Amino acid sequence: MGKASQLFKTDLKGLDRLIKKLRSDGYVVYGPVKRGRSWFFLEIDSVKQVDLNYVRTVLPPKKLLHPPREKLFEFKLGDGFEVSEKPMPPTVALFGVHPCDLKAIERQDEFFSQTPEDPYYLARRRNALIIGLTCTRVDENCFCLSRGTGPEVSTGFDILITDVGNGYLLEPGSAKGLELLKSLGFQEVGDEYLEAKQKLIEELKKSFTKQMPPEGLAELAKSMLEHEVWKETAERCLSCGNCSLVCPTCYCFDVYDVLELNLRSGVRVRELDSCQLLEYAEVALGGNFRRNRFQRLRHWMLCKFGVAGGGLYSSCVGCGRCIVYCPANIDLTEVASRLRGGG
Amino acid sequence: MKLKVGVFKFTSCSGCQVELIRMNEQLPELLNLVEFKYWAMASSKLEDGPYDLALVEGAISTPECIEEVKAIREKSRVLVALGDCAVTGGVPSIRNWMSQREAETIVYPKPGYIRSTRVYGIDEYVKVDYYLKGCPPRLENILQVFKAVILGVKPRLRQHSVCVECKLYENECLLTTYKQPCMGPVTAAGCGAICPNVGRVCEGCYGPMSDPNVASMVERLREIGLSDDEIVRKFRKYAGMSKPYREVAKL
Ligand code: SF4
Ligand code: SF4
Ligand code: SF4
Ligand code: SF4
Ligand code: SF4
């Protein structure tokens, strides 16, 4: 916040114009669409398809930047070894990304920009346009507030949309975003709209019931590797992997080749993996660093608490997905509070 | 040198072999690499071993089967259990939970000829190198085993849960969202989550995943209202004789 920047305002029709403009600029636009009882980031061509009042999608928008399964390249053994990279992916615009997911994308950006850089992720990311959407409601499994990852955000978007009641406030977050807003001729408004937004956010903050503050959690968890909570929770854990496959901050993947029957050509694939799965830590000759379920569950939580894996790059942003999709009702905020000596 | 392959069948519906026959357009390519020395369903020319690769379909259910499967093992360098019946006893093993006489009289008008044993997967009697789970296993996975054996590498047959594939396709979760009795969290993947993809629960046809938490799954199914009897049937359906399920299946 703070820095006064240009602000704009529009209505639903204006948002629709924004989507159409992005499409005519060559973006494939994805937004939160309701199907059955859940929401999904799906390709959209009009604001009518979007539920601007959604809570969370099954898979985070990460799926469009770091796809759950993708072909990296094709290879062929001819005279030499030929590799054909697939053409550049379509440029995506993500419409309606909530603050927690914006923060998660920032973490993935940092992770995949480390040496060695990940060219596949970065190619998609560089061209992507991200339009954030301030939440209008939270449910019993949201806890971004305690993680410092929402419901306020000031970075990670090209444009941020907030429903301020009598229209949608549009804040540019990048030069690209500002240019877009100007080109659409949206009405410029003053700072009083920021105040209105802030009031809504303050109101929203009162609806949070769950929390998992990050302060000291990593150090605490690291010092309590033998705490009984790990084994007790692991008794319920199914090692199904749902929690990490839906997590917007998990980045682990597996790479494998699929050979054609000619045994001379094939494709290299990468696919989301999860440290909750037995095979994840398996090495040659069947050795396994985390054969016991409690070790795997503990590792996944330590990573989300900011200890294991990439430390802060993969730590939790409080979206609640892992809790919603855990068939065993395992809740990492409860584990954290037990480590802190509560409950 | 082409890989010498034998395909053998014990107690089963032959669906796994049908899956193999279904490959159609890939067959000529496969025949560049392998030679089927013994495959009664596809050819009347049946040659004795040794085989580089034996694909064994079906459960072991008679004393004769036991001798035969041991003989096949001796003649084969790599032996693969093809499909759930061979892996765990599969659907035929539901017969294990009734008396022998009862089962035989249901099936045969004159059960006097029948001498059957308890139904088991083949590894009750012989060492198995690779398990192709599924009822039936997906063709892709079968072909993967052929390729891996030719190249002398381990096939990539990951045994994580069906939930993993479900998430790769971003299905709505039938268990958590709809409280339906989906066996995905304990079932081995490999099918591509084809049932949840069309909104139907996983019935567990690939058998247990690697290290399934059976006790917790029983609790989860209780939570959504299944009776103990229904739960037992869920675990018996495809892999009741598998080691992880045996205890619950007898419950
Ligand atoms: S750990 Fe759970 S709540 Fe945290 S970001 Fe991942 S899915 Fe969301
Ligand atoms: S190591 Fe961390 S980032 Fe990787 S799957 Fe596990 S929890 Fe996710
Ligand atoms: S979703 Fe729940 S049961 Fe499944 S691996 Fe994660 S914590 Fe365990
Ligand atoms: S529908 Fe079944 S297989 Fe899919 S995620 Fe849910 S429990 Fe797992
Ligand atoms: S989803 Fe389950 S029942 Fe359906 S094919 Fe796959 S393993 Fe079999």
- Stretch A41-46: mean pLDDT: 98
User: Residue B46 corresponds to which amino acid?
Assistant: L
Q: Which of B250, B247, B201, B198 lies closest to B229 in space, CA to CA?
A: B250
- Stretch B58-85: mean pLDDT: 97
Cα A266 → chain centroid? 31
H or E element at residue A162: strand A159-163
Q: What is the pLDDT of residue A175?
A: 96
pLDDT for residue A343 is more than 60 = no
H or E element at residue A72: strand A69-77
Each residue of A108-152: pLDDT tens digit? Answer: 999 999 999 999 999 999 999 999 999 999 999 999 999 999 999
**Mean confidence (pLDDT) of chain A:** 95
Any chain A CB within 8 A of the CB of B151?
A: yes
| Protein residue with least CA distance to atom 8, ligand 5 | B205
pLDDT for residue A1 is more than 70 = no
Each residue of B77-131: pLDDT tens digit? Answer: 999 999 999 999 999 999 999 988 888 888 888 877 778 889 999 999 999 999 9
Q: What is the pLDDT of residue A2?
A: 41
Please give the Cα distance from B75 to B48 (Å, whole number): 9
Each residue of A240-270: pLDDT tens digit? Answer: 999 999 999 999 999 999 999 999 999 999 9
Please give the Cα distance from A318 to A66 (Å, whole number): 20
Per-residue exposure over A137-167, b if at least 16 CB sit within 10 Å of its own CB, e if not: ebeebbbbbbbebbbbbeebbbbbbbbbeeb
Strands (E), B121-202: 130-132
Each residue of A78-119: pLDDT tens digit? Answer: 888 899 987 777 899 999 999 999 999 999 999 999 999 999
H or E element at residue B102: helix B100-107
Between B147, B175, B176, which is nearest A263 by CB?
B147
Is-contact A271 A68, C-beta < 8 A?
A: yes
pLDDT band (50, 70, 90) for residue B250: confident
User: Residue A224 corresponds to which amino acid?
Assistant: M
Between B33, B213, B219, which is nearest A293 by CB?
B213
Q: Which of B90, B59, B66 lies closest to B242 in space, CA to CA?
A: B90
Task: Sort out which chain A residues have CB atoms less than 8 A from B32's CB and list them.
Answer: 262
A327 vs B158: CB contact, 8 Å cut-off?
A: no
Q: Helix, strand, or coil here: A114?
A: coil
pLDDT for residue B10 is more than 80 = yes
Cβ burial of B24 (10 Å; 0-12, 13-18, 19+) is: exposed
B164 vs A58: CB contact, 8 Å cut-off?
A: no
Any chain B CB within 8 A of the CB of A236?
A: yes
In chain A, pLDDT over 70 holds for what percent of residues?
98
Task: Sort out which chain A residues have CB atoms less than 8 A from B143's CB and list them.
Answer: 261
Place of tokens 């669906």: B15
B170 vs A279: CB contact, 8 Å cut-off?
A: no
Please give the Cα distance from A174 to A199 (Å, whole number): 24
Is-contact A281 A288, C-beta < 8 A?
A: yes
**Number of other CB atoms surrounding residue A80 within 10 Å:** 6
B177 vs A37: CB contact, 8 Å cut-off?
A: yes
Shortest alpha-carbon distance between residue A8 and chain B (Å): 35
| Protein residue with least CA distance to atom 8, ligand 1 | A319
**Ligand 5 pocket, residues with Cβ under 6 angstroms:** B 162, 187, 191, 193-196, 202-206
Q: What is the pLDDT of residue B106?
A: 84
Estimate the crossing angle of helix A293-305 against helix A332-339, to 10 degrees.
Answer: 80
- Stretch A10-22: mean pLDDT: 98
Chain B 76-115, residues with CB within 8 Å of chain A CB atoms = none
Q: Is this complex's ipTM strictly greater than 0.90?
A: yes
Q: What is the pLDDT of residue A88?
A: 73
Task: Sort out which chain A residues have CB atoms less than 8 A from B150's CB and list them.
Answer: 263
Any chain A CB within 8 A of the CB of B179?
A: no
Residue with the bigger pLDDT between B100 and B136: it is B136
Residue with the bigger pLDDT between A22 and A309: it is A22
Q: What is the full DSSP assignment across B12-53?
A: S-SHHHHHHHTTGGGHHHHHHHEEEEEETTT-S------EEE
Kindly list the strands in the beta sheet with A253-259, ordered across the sheet, starting from the edge strand earlier in the chain: A81-85, A69-77, A265-272, A253-259
Q: Helix, strand, or coil here: A150?
A: coil
Residue with the bigger pLDDT between A279 and A90: it is A279
Strands (E), chain B: 3-9, 34-39, 51-57, 76-82, 130-132
- The answer for residues whose C-beta is within 8 angstroms of residue A237's C-beta and 6 or more apart is A276, A293, A296, A297, A328, A330, B213, B216
A59 vs B167: CB contact, 8 Å cut-off?
A: yes
From the CA of A241, give the closest atom in ligand 3: 5
Q: What is the pLDDT of residue B104?
A: 83
Measured CA angle at A140 (ends A139, A142), to 5 deg: 70
- Identify the nearest ligand to the CA of B194 by its number: 5
Q: What is the pLDDT of residue A4?
A: 53
pLDDT for residue B72 is more than 50 = yes
Each residue of B153-189: pLDDT tens digit? Answer: 999 999 999 999 999 999 999 999 999 999 999 999 9
